[in-house]
């Protein structure tokens, strides 16, 4: 590939040794291929030498999925970032895995289309990473997650062979198996996506409430009124205050939570939905309701939501971000559980996320250098997962399992479920070359 794209110095390898978690490990070498053939040959060589390979996008994940085992090959796909084809008349496009989500959105918007999954890191994260983790984002409530938009994949298997899988009936659905597989079954070198037209109209609201409990009850109320927003996000009191301070905005000291609501569709649909949103909140114990009239006002409201992560980075040097998800009807119980955990373990917990589909991002702000506090953090995370599972939920709504949650997966899936996962892994990667140790470990890893 040329010396410019093979990194062996400690300084270069260090840059690829971590993701957005607290985990890190030094790879043996970092390679940056630019073609499918190069990816194939690298994996063939790795398989022959029994060296683990870890595919990597931008390293923005919260599960440790791209953290390399010691001495492994990091396969950075950042150079494979082209838009291969675009056919709006067919509602399809093909991109390379290293294409940044936000860059794709800008290209599609010029043609009146968009790719609905929009993680908060969309200006950095890559489509390949989105597919590997089955990422979603604020618009998932109405439009779904990445798995709903992948229509084809070019995949390099663990022996270096290359295959193309696509939609169709009458055969095994390999796309659904590969999306969310976290680089453990194959490496994507091209991704076919379904795209959709941009909504004709929109209406955006910011609703301030007295507590996170009230916000969770409001979500249930909207659902009972058959209101399906395209976006239904929440921030708790401390998160709201943190973001307002970060952006230099007026504060809302009485607000215990804020809901970010957006409805989209035709002008008639948006008008009707907006009236129902306002009517629903008028029945509830809200403090105030603001709404965007112009695009500039809408952008300001979105900036409030998009600024959560950088705002929280000022609170403490380490953020443990867990994306637990429960049925909407159990949200009040989850909220009470989180508040109790903060008191029990004496920790700063900031909650926000996609509350419309029951997905809360529970952020424990801490300092990884504080050994005693980190012990309480990990105990708290374990208790959080126990509460989530007891409510019929899942330990990950969108971030994936990686190494951060692998210890808790058996409790969620059970012995038979774990056995099925291991059988799938052995079929696709019998030598455990691809991203070993992620999701679960095999006995021969």
* DSSP per-residue codes, 274-319: HHHHHHHHHTS-EEEEEE--SHHHHHHHHHHHHTHHHHHTTT-SEE
Query: Which pLDDT score, from 0 to 100, does residue 167 have?
Result: 87
Q: Which two tokens stand for residue 62?
A: 């919260």
Q: What is the pLDDT along the chain (445 residues), one digit of tens a residue?
A: 899 999 999 999 999 999 999 999 999 999 999 999 999 999 999 999 999 999 999 999 999 999 999 999 999 999 999 999 999 999 999 999 999 999 999 999 999 999 999 998 999 999 999 999 999 999 999 999 999 999 999 999 999 999 999 988 668 899 999 999 999 999 999 999 999 999 999 999 999 999 999 999 999 999 888 899 999 999 999 999 999 999 999 989 999 999 999 999 999 999 999 999 999 999 988 889 999 989 999 998 888 888 998 899 999 999 999 999 999 899 999 999 999 999 999 999 999 999 999 999 999 999 999 999 999 999 999 999 999 999 999 999 999 999 999 999 999 999 999 999 999 999 999 999 999 999 998 765 5
- Distances 20 to 24, 59, 236, 393 between C-alpha atoms, Å: 10, 7, 22, 24
Q: What tokens appear for 181 in the block?
A: 């597989």
The helices-and-strands tally (H runs, E runs) of the chain is 14, 18
- CA dist., res. 274 & res. 293, Å (int): 12
For tokens 């490496």, name the residue: 187
The per-residue pLDDT for 120 is: 87
The total number of residues written for the chain in this structure: 445
CATH number, span 3-76:
3.30.43.10
Task: Note whether 230 and 139 are within 8 A (CB).
Answer: yes
The CA distance from 66 to 187, in Å, is: 12
Q: Is the dihedral of CA 165, 171, 174, 175 positive or negative?
A: positive
Q: Determine contact, residues 64/402, Cβ cutoff 8 Å.
A: yes
Q: Give the architecture (CATH level 2) of 201-310.
A: 2-Layer Sandwich (3.30)
Sign of CA dihedral 149, 154, 159, 160: negative
> Which phi and psi angles does 209 have, rounded to 5°?
-125, 170
pLDDT of residue 293: 84
Give me the pLDDT at residue 169, please.
Answer: 67
Please report the pLDDT score of residue 34 as a whole number: 98
CA 323 to chain centre: 9
Contacts of 411 (CB under 8 A, 6+ apart): 385, 389
Tell me whether domains 3-76 and 315-423 share a fold: no
Q: Domain 83-197 falls in which CATH fold? A: 3.30.465
Give helix 267-282 / helix 212-224 axis angle, nearest 10°: 130
> For the chain, which residues make up each domain, given as ranges?
3-76, 83-197, 201-310, 315-423
Looking at residue 151, the DSSP 8-state letter turns out to be E
The pairing of strands 201-209 and 257-265 is: antiparallel
Rounded to 5°, angle at Cα 400 from 397 and 404: 115
Whole-number Å distance between alpha carbons of 434 and 164: 18
Contact 218, 207 (CB under 8 A): yes
CATH class of 315-423: alpha beta
Determine the pLDDT at residue 427: 97
Query: Coil, helix or strand for 173?
Result: coil
User: Would you give the distance in Å from CA 30 to the centre of its chain?
Assistant: 24
Number of Cβ within 10 Å of residue 71's Cβ equals: 12
Tokens of 272: 């009707």
E strands along 50-180, which residues?
A: 53-56, 73-76, 83-87, 92-95, 113-114, 150-156, 162-166
């Amino acid at each position: 590939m040329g010396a410019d794209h093979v990194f062996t110095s400690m300084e270069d390898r260090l840059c690829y040794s971590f993701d957005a978690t607290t985990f890190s490990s030094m790879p043996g070498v970092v390679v940056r291929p630019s073609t499918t053939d190069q990816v194939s040959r690298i994996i063939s060589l790795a398989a022959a030498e029994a060296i683990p390979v870890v595919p990597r996008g931008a390293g923005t994940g919260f599960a440790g999925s791209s953290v390399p085992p010691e001495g492994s090959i990091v396969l950075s796909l950042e150079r494979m970032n082209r838009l291969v084809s675009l056919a709006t008349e067919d509602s399809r496009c093909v991109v390379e895995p290293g294409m940044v989500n936000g860059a794709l959105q800008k290209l599609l918007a010029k043609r009146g289309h968009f790719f609905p999954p929009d993680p908060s890191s969309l200006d950095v994260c890559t489509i390949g990473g989105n597919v590997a983790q089955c990422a979603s984002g604020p618009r998932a409530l109405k439009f779904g997650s990445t798995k709903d938009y992948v229509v084809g994949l070019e995949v390099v298997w663990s022996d270096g062979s290359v295959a193309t899988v696509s939609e169709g009936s009458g055969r095994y659905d390999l796309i659904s198996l590969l999306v969310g597989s976290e680089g453990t079954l194959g490496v994507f070198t091209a991704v076919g996506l379904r795209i959709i037209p941009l909504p004709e109209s929109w209406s955006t609201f910011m609703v301030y409430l007295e507590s996170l409990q009230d916000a969770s009850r409001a979500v249930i109320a909207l659902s009972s009124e058959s209101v399906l927003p395209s976006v239904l996000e929440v921030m708790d009191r401390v998160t709201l205050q943190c973001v307002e301070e970060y952006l230099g905005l007026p504060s809302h000291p009485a607000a215990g939570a804020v809901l970010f609501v957006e409805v989209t569709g035709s002008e008639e649909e948006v008008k009707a939905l907006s009236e129902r949103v306002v009517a629903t909140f008028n029945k509830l114990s809200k403090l105030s309701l603001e709404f965007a009239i112009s695009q500039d006002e809408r952008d300001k409201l979105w900036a409030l939501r998009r600024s959560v992560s950088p705002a929280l980075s000022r609170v403490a040097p380490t953020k443990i971000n867990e994306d637990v998800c429960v049925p909407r009807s159990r949200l009040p119980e989850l909220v009470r559980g989180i508040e109790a955990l903060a008191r029990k373990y004496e920790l700063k917990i900031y909650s926000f996320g996609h509350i419309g589909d029951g997905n809360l991002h529970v952020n424990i702000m801490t300092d990884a250098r504080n050994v005693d506090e980190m012990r309480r953090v990990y105990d708290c995370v374990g208790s959080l997962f126990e509460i989530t599972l007891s409510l019929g939920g899942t330990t990950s709504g969108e971030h994936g399992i990686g190494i951060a949650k692998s210890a808790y997966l058996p409790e969620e899936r059970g012995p038979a479920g774990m056995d099925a996962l291991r059988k799938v892994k052995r079929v696709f990667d019998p030598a455990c070359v691809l991203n070993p140790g992620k999701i679960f470990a095999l006995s021969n890893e």
